[in-house]
Structure 1
Amino acid sequence: MDQKLEFPIDDQSIIYQCIPQRPPMVMVDGLLDYHVNGILATFTVAPDHIFVKNEILQESGLIEHMAQSVALHTGFGYYLREEQAPIGYIGSISNLEIYQCPKVNQQIRSEVTVLQEFSGVTLVEITSKVEQTIIATGQMKTVVAK
């Protein structure tokens, strides 16, 4: 890799190399921190986003943001190795608690912690916040397409 990466990363060309989604379905816009066992990803809720209704990001949009944060973790690892990021799928969602949905112009920060990873299957724990308030928590199991 020719360029030196510095956090935060908000260059959409890098983000797009790490996730398969494209507008209007992109639900991550920044990478604040990355390590092998986790990531801190962001998304600022735009007023015209397809998951916004009455100036509030709907639950489905928040869940999609959480899933894309997991995808960004996987994809960024491939990006660092200068390899093409694979397509992945949500295998399951468990223990999901949504306490509140963010409003337009608020930034979601989601911390993803890898609990287990084996043979293309990853189990993670996700905590999403707006400022210091936890708005959602849960676990996801993702599967990389072979």
Structure 2
Amino acid sequence: MKDVILPILDRDFVENLIPQKFPFVMVDKLIDFRENEIVVGLTVPENNIFVKNSIFQESGLIEHMAQSVALYTGYQFYLKQQPAPVGYIGSIKSIEINQLPNLNEAIETTVTVLQEFMGVTLVDISSKLNGIEIAKGQMKTVLAN
């Protein structure tokens, strides 16, 4: 296991932990990691493909949530010194979005793993702005074979 000091604020390092690449990267920091939980961040940049009229759109927020799950898996593999696997959203049980972030606002998302079995991960996800929950949901992700 590698020694890493959290938080990891290096965008390039974080991007290497997930299969997505620019311009489709929706995470830029790994704030905290422990068994069955990760806290991920994104400061919404001007060049983000999901920003319209200075507002981060619903589709971008949902993709950020999914990539937060991918970062959990990718970081687990990094600690085992293995490359990050490709995965897919298997299902979205529910997503509630109460507010959309503006340009340059910092989203903080907590992913809590409810169940992990044979490459399928079921999670609860909560995204916050300034400590206030703006979105929550439940997703199932599947690793590619």
- For the aligned pair, the TM-score class normalised by the smaller chain equals over 0.9
Contact 1:17–1:79 under 8 Å retained in 2: no
- Letter of the aligned partner of 2:18 in structure 1? I
- Letter of the aligned partner of 1:48 in structure 2? N
Moved over 6 A (4+): none
Which blocks of at least 5 consecutive residues in structure 2 are unaligned? none
- Letter of the aligned partner of 1:46 in structure 2? P
Indicate the residue corresponding to 1:139 in structure 2. Answer: 138
CA shift for structure 1 position 5: 1.1
Q: CA RMSD in A?
A: 1.1
Does 2:53 match 1:50? no
1:98-113 aligned at under 5 Å gives the runs 98-113=97-112
Give the Cα separation in 1 of the matches to 2:107 and 2:70: 16
CA shift for structure 1 position 94: 1.3
Contact 2:85–2:143 under 8 Å retained in 1: yes
| TM-score of the superposed pair, with normalisation by structure 1 | 0.96
SS in 1 for 2:68: helix
- Letter of the aligned partner of 1:37 in structure 2? N
CA shift for structure 1 position 11: 1.8
| TM-score of the superposed pair, with normalisation by structure 2 | 0.96
Indicate the residue corresponding to 1:41 in structure 2. Answer: 40
CA deviation map 1:16-38 (0-9, x unaligned): 22101111110000001001201
Counting matched residue pairs gives 145
SS in 2 for 1:63: helix
Does 2:81 match 1:82? yes
